[in-house]
Amino acid sequence: MRALLEIELDTETTNALITDGTIRERFERIMSDLRPEAAYAFARNGRRCQIVVVDVADEASIPSICEPFWLEFNADVDLHLCMNPDELRTGLDRMSR
């Protein structure tokens, strides 16, 4: 199933990682493991944020998706199950039966 992650990075933690030059390697490792369908970085309320769309194989996969952001970046992470337009159509069709 598809999930959208809203990730808000801790400024103090990421400032230190930028200063010591390790932030890029850490992000690349996490993204390599997640293999996101889409990923976007932006600023929100003065903080570094990301939106990442990933496939969640099952509920037991959730810790391995969220923990790297908590452990590496002291991030706030929200996970939302979501669907694309085709999946929404299928869901709406099921309702009308």
* pLDDT bucket at 96, cuts 50 / 70 / 90: confident
The proportion of the chain whose per-residue pLDDT surpasses 90, expressed as a percent, equals 98
Angle between helical axes of 11-20 and 23-34 (0-180°, round to 10): 110
* pLDDT bucket at 15, cuts 50 / 70 / 90: very high
Residue 97: per-residue pLDDT: 73
Which domains occur in the chain, in start order?
Answer: 2-95 (3.30.70.120)
* pLDDT bucket at 11, cuts 50 / 70 / 90: very high
Residue 26: per-residue pLDDT: 96
Residues contacting 37, CB < 8 A, separation 6+: 2, 53, 54, 55
| Nearest residue to 54 (alpha-carbon basis) of 67, 36, 29 | 36
